[in-house]
Protein backbone atom coordinates (compact mmCIF):
# COMPACT_ATOMS: atom_id res chain seq x y z
CA UNK A 1 0.00 0.00 0.00
CA UNK A 2 1.30 3.43 -0.94
CA UNK A 3 2.06 5.94 1.79
CA UNK A 4 -0.51 8.38 0.32
CA UNK A 5 -3.22 5.69 0.62
CA UNK A 6 -2.32 5.09 4.27
CA UNK A 7 -2.61 8.81 4.95
CA UNK A 8 -6.02 8.89 3.23
CA UNK A 9 -7.23 5.93 5.31
CA UNK A 10 -6.00 7.51 8.54
CA UNK A 11 -7.72 10.76 7.58
CA UNK A 12 -11.04 8.93 6.95
CA UNK A 13 -10.69 7.11 10.29
CA UNK A 14 -10.05 10.41 12.04
CA UNK A 15 -13.13 12.06 10.46
CA UNK A 16 -15.20 9.03 11.50
CA UNK A 17 -13.95 9.20 15.10
CA UNK A 18 -14.67 12.93 15.35
CA UNK A 19 -18.19 12.54 13.93
CA UNK A 20 -18.95 9.72 16.42
CA UNK A 21 -17.83 11.99 19.23
CA UNK A 22 -20.04 14.81 17.94
CA UNK A 23 -23.01 12.43 17.74
CA UNK A 24 -22.39 11.52 21.39
CA UNK A 25 -22.16 15.20 22.36
CA UNK A 26 -25.37 15.96 20.48
CA UNK A 27 -27.14 13.26 22.48
CA UNK A 28 -26.30 15.39 25.48
CA UNK A 29 -23.61 13.07 26.73
CA UNK A 30 -25.52 12.67 30.01
CA UNK A 31 -24.49 10.00 32.45
CA UNK A 32 -27.51 8.33 34.07
CA UNK A 33 -27.31 5.70 36.76
CA UNK A 34 -29.34 3.91 39.41
CA UNK A 35 -27.66 3.36 42.77
CA UNK A 36 -29.33 0.68 44.88
CA UNK A 37 -28.29 0.56 48.53
CA UNK A 38 -29.14 -1.32 51.70
CA UNK A 39 -28.40 0.51 54.96
CA UNK A 40 -27.72 -0.78 58.45
CA UNK A 41 -31.06 -0.36 60.25
CA UNK A 42 -29.45 0.81 63.51
CA UNK A 43 -27.78 3.73 61.69
CA UNK A 44 -30.57 4.58 59.25
CA UNK A 45 -31.44 8.00 60.66
CA UNK A 46 -27.81 9.09 60.72
CA UNK A 47 -27.34 7.79 57.16
CA UNK A 48 -30.38 9.74 55.93
CA UNK A 49 -28.93 12.96 57.37
CA UNK A 50 -25.55 12.42 55.70
CA UNK A 51 -27.21 11.66 52.35
CA UNK A 52 -29.64 14.60 52.53
CA UNK A 53 -26.85 17.07 53.18
CA UNK A 54 -24.70 15.59 50.39
CA UNK A 55 -27.56 15.66 47.86
CA UNK A 56 -28.73 19.17 48.66
CA UNK A 57 -25.19 20.56 48.48
CA UNK A 58 -24.29 18.73 45.25
CA UNK A 59 -27.40 19.87 43.37
CA UNK A 60 -26.96 23.41 44.67
CA UNK A 61 -23.25 23.99 43.98
CA UNK A 62 -22.43 21.63 41.09
CA UNK A 63 -23.96 22.70 37.76
CA UNK A 64 -23.17 19.27 36.28
CA UNK A 65 -25.15 17.34 38.92
CA UNK A 66 -28.60 17.49 37.30
CA UNK A 67 -30.39 15.45 39.95
CA UNK A 68 -29.89 12.98 42.77
CA UNK A 69 -33.41 11.72 43.38
CA UNK A 70 -33.28 9.38 46.38
CA UNK A 71 -36.24 7.24 47.45
CA UNK A 72 -36.65 4.89 50.40
CA UNK A 73 -39.00 1.90 50.11
CA UNK A 74 -42.05 2.28 52.37
CA UNK A 75 -42.24 -1.45 53.15
CA UNK A 76 -38.49 -1.75 53.56
CA UNK A 77 -37.03 1.61 54.64
CA UNK A 78 -33.42 0.36 54.74
CA UNK A 79 -33.62 -0.15 50.95
CA UNK A 80 -33.10 2.93 48.82
CA UNK A 81 -32.64 3.78 45.17
CA UNK A 82 -31.02 6.96 43.83
CA UNK A 83 -31.62 8.17 40.28
CA UNK A 84 -28.38 10.00 39.45
CA UNK A 85 -28.15 12.27 36.38
CA UNK A 86 -24.89 14.04 35.52
CA UNK A 87 -24.41 16.44 32.58
CA UNK A 88 -21.48 14.29 31.42
CA UNK A 89 -18.82 11.94 32.77
CA UNK A 90 -16.47 14.87 33.52
CA UNK A 91 -19.12 16.31 35.88
CA UNK A 92 -19.39 12.94 37.58
CA UNK A 93 -15.63 12.62 38.03
CA UNK A 94 -15.46 16.16 39.44
CA UNK A 95 -18.35 15.33 41.83
CA UNK A 96 -16.34 12.45 43.32
CA UNK A 97 -13.63 14.88 44.42
CA UNK A 98 -15.86 17.45 46.15
CA UNK A 99 -15.55 17.86 49.94
CA UNK A 100 -19.29 17.28 50.44
CA UNK A 101 -19.19 13.97 48.53
CA UNK A 102 -16.08 12.81 50.42
CA UNK A 103 -17.71 13.75 53.74
CA UNK A 104 -20.73 11.59 52.84
CA UNK A 105 -18.64 8.70 51.47
CA UNK A 106 -16.30 8.53 54.47
CA UNK A 107 -19.01 9.30 57.01
CA UNK A 108 -21.33 6.52 55.84
CA UNK A 109 -18.77 3.84 54.92
CA UNK A 110 -19.75 1.56 57.82
CA UNK A 111 -23.51 2.23 57.41
CA UNK A 112 -23.84 0.85 53.87
CA UNK A 113 -24.46 -2.91 53.85
CA UNK A 114 -24.59 -3.16 50.06
CA UNK A 115 -24.26 -0.88 47.05
CA UNK A 116 -25.13 -1.71 43.45
CA UNK A 117 -24.41 0.79 40.66
CA UNK A 118 -26.41 0.22 37.47
CA UNK A 119 -25.63 2.18 34.30
CA UNK A 120 -28.85 2.99 32.45
CA UNK A 121 -30.19 4.66 29.31
CA UNK A 122 -33.14 7.04 29.76
CA UNK A 123 -36.05 6.42 27.37
CA UNK A 124 -36.76 10.18 27.07
CA UNK A 125 -33.42 11.91 27.76
CA UNK A 126 -34.78 15.44 28.22
CA UNK A 127 -37.43 14.38 30.77
CA UNK A 128 -37.87 16.75 33.74
CA UNK A 129 -39.82 16.82 37.00
CA UNK A 130 -42.61 19.42 36.85
Query: Which residues are at the interface with a second copy (CB under 8 A)?
Result: 32, 34, 48, 51-52, 55-56, 59, 63, 65-75, 77, 80-81, 83, 85, 118-124, 127-130
Q: Are 71 and 81 in contact (CB under 8 A)?
A: yes
**All residues at 6 or more sequence positions from 53 whose CB lies less than 8 Å from its CB, including other chains:** 100, 103, 104
On whether the CB atoms of residues 57 and 100 are closer than 8 A, the answer is: yes
Query: Among residues 55 and 111, whose Cβ is nearest to a second copy?
Result: 55
Cα 126 from Cα 22, distance rounded (Å):
18
Shortest distance in whole angstroms from residue 54 CB to a second copy: 10
**Considering the complex, what minimum distance in angstroms separates the CB of residue 125 from a second copy?**
10
CB of 51 to a second copy, least distance (A): 6
The torsion angles phi and psi of 88, rounded to 5 degrees, stand at -170, 175
- Length of the chain (residues): 130
Q: Which CB, 3 or 64, lies closer to a second copy?
A: 64
Closest distance of CB 85 from a second copy, Å: 6
Amino acid sequence: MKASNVVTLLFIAMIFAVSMENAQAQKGGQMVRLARLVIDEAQLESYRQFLKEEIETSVKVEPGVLTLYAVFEKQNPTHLTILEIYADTASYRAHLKTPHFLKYKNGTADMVKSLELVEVDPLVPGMKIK
